[in-house]
Amino acid sequence: LNGHPTERLPNTLNVSFGGILAYELLEQIGKRVAASAGAACHSGGASVSAALQAMRVPPEWALGAVRFSTGRMTTLEEVAETVCHIAAAVEKMRKVRRTNERNPPHRE
């Protein structure tokens, strides 16, 4: 969780996924979930937003920061479905990463 645990907007969540790059996670979830990388004032690229830097989020975590927002019409069912999509994508990405770390490409 990036930011204060209770002093925050009720409809916005910024969370980091360790060992995951936010833009790769967003590619993985595709159009199933509306989310963005970094802070609201940051767009594009794989750089650390000024907001996350100001909060002293370590760069390795800040690069995995994703922002989720809900609207007036968002249902609890949609939130639960989103959590499932995100969890599955993160687990898949971490599994691929672990496999790649155990089996690095052979170079001649």
Q: Which residues have a catalytic role annotated? A: 41
Q: Quick check: 62 and 22 in contact, CB under 8 A?
A: no
Q: Quick check: 101 and 60 in contact, CB under 8 A?
A: no
For residue 61, which amino acid is it?
A: W
